[in-house]
Amino acid sequence: MAKILIADDDAILTEMLRFRLEGARHQVVTAADGMEALEKAGSENPDLIILDSMMPVVAGPEVLARLRDAPQTARTPIVMLTARDGEKDVVAALKSGANEYMTKPFIPKELMVRIQKLLVRAA
Amino acid sequence: MGAQFVFFVSAMVALAMLVAFAILLLRRWYQERRKRAEKDNLTAITRSYMRRVSGQADNEASAKWSDELKLEAVSHIHLLLRGGERQRLMQMAELDGLLRATLRKSESWRSARRIDAIRLLQQFGSEACIARLREIFARDRNKAVRLEAAFALAAVHALPPPRETIRILGMFERKINRLDKALFRASAPHYSEELALLLEDDISHDHRALIIDALGWSEDPDVLPLLRKASRMNHAELRSAALRAAGQLGVPTVEPWVLERLRDPVEFVRIQAVNCCAALGLHGAIPHLRLLLEDEAFWVRLRAEHALEVLEEQWPDHEQPRLRA
Amino acid sequence: MTWADLQLAAANAVLFLAFGCFLVVAARNGISLLQLIVAGWVFATRTKPGRNAVELWNRYGDLAFPVSVIAPAFNEELSIVDSVKALLALEYPHHEVIVVNDGSKDDTLGALIRGFEMEPYEREQIAELQTTKILGTYRSRRFPNLFVVDKENGRKADAANAGIGFARTPLVCVIDADSIIERDGLLRAAEPFMHDDGRLIAVGGTIRIANGCEIEGGALRKIGVDKKLVPRFQVVEYLRAFLSSRVANAHTDTLLLISGAFGMFRRDVLIEIGGYRHDTVGEDLELVVRMHRYMLEQKRDYAIKFVPDIVCWTEAPVNLAGIKGQRSRWQQGALETLQRHRRMIFNPRYGRIGMIGMPQLILEDIIGPPAEVIGYLVVPAAVLLGILDPMMALAFLGVTVLFGTGLSFGSLVLEEIQLRRLQSARDLYRIGEAALLENFGFRQMNLIYRLRGIRSFWRNDTKWEAVPRIGFDQAS
């Protein structure tokens, strides 16, 4: 069992992920914008963070950069979610420190497998 | 007109405005109160559909959920899901009769509402939706609506052959815009042969260029001879379109005739040729591109510089003096 | 001539004046009403815009023309890094951000260099539209799409021109460095260009007041409405201006103003006409009028459009002192533009612009304000002289207030039904309240400020350079 932070302004997407993750016996914390995501990442100390690249207030890539700069979250596995499937974006995200990258629409099972792997690796 | 009359009328109008404003406020207040409940419902509906999609028992479903709200949830989930689960979700939505309202809306007398409906139908993309989209595409009286339907059909990979599309949208009777270009590109993978045949028709250069451009999106290497032929035609638009298409198609065997175009007399053709070299990673173009750094046209110099950067980044081990200061 | 004759003549003159003013006020109100009706029609029949950035992106991602966002900055050391971060994070497939440091007295350039790891980088300027000297150009090691131009101080027009000269994309979007662009604002403003067959040269969008909203790191966190009345009055004014006038003007092809806080233009056309003019305080109005003039004189087919969706938020003056400067400048700018392009007025060669657009500007900006002021003075005088029934005067005053409120209210209804960006019923009430209160005091103060603008136009006609530079936050 792990604690997972979902940072996304899309309530339905958050709910879908929550359903899946809770089904896999994980504990879920949510944040609806970039600023909240940064706050929760600090206070909740999650084991893994799912981060949407398009978010209000502070955009995903910026959140990612700040998370990597903070010692507490520097090594936390991060999965980026994005609506663009440009090769350039994937490279940019991985370069800036995301461990995994998923484009919307996605296959939930695939996402779950990737999350599981990341958690095992981090443990 | 006496003052009293003016007073009376003003008072009535003021009263009407006051009432209207009060209604607006009340409406907003009511919606605000409902919003929280609605949001909870939306997540509950999401949960319920996710359960059903993954084959679990769904014992939380409530009869109180409106079709409208369910549709909102389902059409949103649709955008996020891929693969088998998406198929199942779509079936469930149809079984639940969620599309009835949308299909009705697609017959509204207001074109804006019909366009709204088209966007929803496109999102679902089921058999019934495609059938309805085809009907709108072929018969709607409003051009904008037909165009929207064409886009929806292209998005669900169900666009009719190019000749039909051209006829129905009257494409060749007006100037081309970017949306036309997008439509042709979208239909190219399914209809590369039909597009090639169209080239034999007696059409204007602009239209021919549009088709040549689209061939680049066909993912079909059989069109390469056509592109080569187009790259040597008299009309610069055609040469440029051929180069754009070649760059998109991504088959490096085009190198000889692309390099030829680096010396084209027309500026924008040279630019396209340079872009094409960069896109295909044509390493052999590097010496030619060097020469273009001295080109008379600013944009050619600029693109050449950029292309060299790209090519050198791809072959970092290659011995090359740095070009940029 | 007897005393009685003189009295009669005076009375007649007063009555005549009052009637004239009434006609002008009635004409302005009539036009506004017409605009509201046209705007209502446009909104009722328009296709609803895509719901969110993701949808827009999916539809247009491959089609969108690359855009350069030109952000002139003057003394913005504290906020520039956040603003630029927000600009870099805008949702758009290919956009470059060109920040022009307009000779700031503070360390704006240093903040940029530190914040984005900027390094000096030579880049050829395609068109030299500025009159001041470029001191240096920089690129970022971290963001390939960020470019900074450092130049000597000029006006905003000059800074924007310098940036436009460095742009390499087909479209440029000129903004104020402190305007807060909606995340999908660029996509929305670029959308008309995708439906276009080569005629479209400029697009404007709705601008809203950011006062009262929660802002964090250069981005909007929560939309709100200020408690203070002055910003609320301006919200009402902006609603009227953008949701009714501009929508109607654009629909009838007579749009003369794309606000300096956000405008999307075709780069080649901007360069052809030489960019913004440096010698006016109303460079945004002048630019669009000149675009019309240029295209019409060249007999080229063109279009200038407006998207009613909100593209950007801007901080408005919080008190009357701020408004005073802003409104005088707007007024002065309008007069300068009218003077420069006076041969377009009522000139059939300039089509609708000459016959409808410019005359409307005259009614709004030359005849309107003085007429209203005279009305306020003359009507009480006529009542005192006993030539106007006091009840009648009161009745007409009532009608004016009613009209003013009615027009604002109409725009508010459009906002509520179409854009729905207000967050709560309370915010709606606050704006409705301001729409009514505006008629008692604010409107009149505004008139006085505009008269000041007319005065400074006459005074500074030739020596406008002496006008002190005020920060961009107040440009329209």
Domain of B102, CATH number, reads 1.25.10
- Tokens at B193, concatenated: 């042969």
- How many domains does chain B contain in total? 1
- Residue-level pLDDT at C98: 94
Residue C476 confidence (pLDDT) above 70? no
- Inform me whether the C-beta atom of residue A15 falls under 8 Å from chain B C-beta atoms: yes
Here the ipTM equals 0.79
The count of CB pairs under 8 A between chains A and C is 30
Residue B240 lies in a domain: no
In a domain, B279, yes or no: no
Contacts of A58 in chain C (CB under 8 A): 216-217, 219
Contacts of B144 in chain C (CB under 8 A): 47
| Residues from chain A contacting residue C91 (CB–CB below 8 Å) | 54
Average pLDDT of the residues of chain B: 83
Determine, for residues A57 and C61 on separate chains, whether the beta-carbon distance falls below 8 Å. no
| Percentage above 70 pLDDT, chain A | 89
Q: Mark the ranges of chain B whose per-residue pLDDT is less than 50.
A: 317-325
Residue C219 sits at the chain A interface (C-beta within 8 Å): yes
**CB C50, CB B120: distance < 8 Å:** no
For chain A, residues with pLDDT lower than 70 are 83-93
Contacts of B109 in chain C (CB under 8 A): none
Identify the pLDDT of residue C39: 92
The pLDDT tens digits for C32-50 are: 999 999 999 998 888 776 6
Q: Is residue B258 part of a domain?
A: no
C420 or C140: which leads in pLDDT: C140
- Considering the entire predicted model, what is its pTM? 0.83
Query: Does the residue B171 lie in any domain?
Result: no
In a domain, B105, yes or no: yes
pLDDT tens-digit map of C260-307: 899 999 999 999 999 999 888 888 999 999 999 999 999 899 999 999
Locus of tokens 């929280």: B36
Between CA C332 and CA C409 the distance in angstroms is 29
Cβ-count burial of B82 within 10 angstroms (0-12 exposed, 13-18 middle, 19+ buried)? Answer: middle
Is A62 an interface residue toward C (CB < 8 Å)?
A: yes
Partner residue facing C416 (CB), from B24, B175, B325 = B24
pLDDT for C466 equals 37
- C168 phi and psi angles, rounded to 5 deg: -125, 5
Closest in C126, C193, C394 to B298, CB measured: C126
Cis bond upstream, residue A105 (ω within 30): yes
Domain span at residue B98 reads 88-158
What residues does B315 pair with on adjacent strands?
none
The pLDDT tens digits for C36-91 are: 999 999 988 887 766 555 555 566 666 788 999 999 999 888 888 888 988 888 88
Nearest Cβ partner for B3 among C47, C391, C405: C391
CB-CB under 8 Å, C47 with B116 = yes
Pick the CATH number of A3-122 from 3.20.20.70, 3.40.50.2300, 3.40.640.10, 3.40.50.720: 3.40.50.2300
Average pLDDT over residues C448-470: 66
Go through chain C and tell me how many residues it has: 476
Q: Which residues share a beta bridge with C98?
A: C70, C147
Q: Give the count of beta carbons closer than 10 Å to the beta carbon of residue B57.
A: 7
Residue B210 is assigned to a structural domain of this protein: no
Cα gap B248→B220, rounded to integer Å: 11
Set of chain A residues whose Cβ sits within 8 Å of the Cβ of C57: 83-84
| pLDDT tens sequence across B231-278 | 888 888 888 888 888 888 888 888 888 888 888 888 888 888 998 888
Q: What is the pLDDT of residues C166-186, one digit of tens each?
A: 999 999 999 987 788 988 889
Lowest-pLDDT range of B223-237, C198-212, C455-469: C455-469
The Cα–Cα gap between C295 and C365 comes to 24
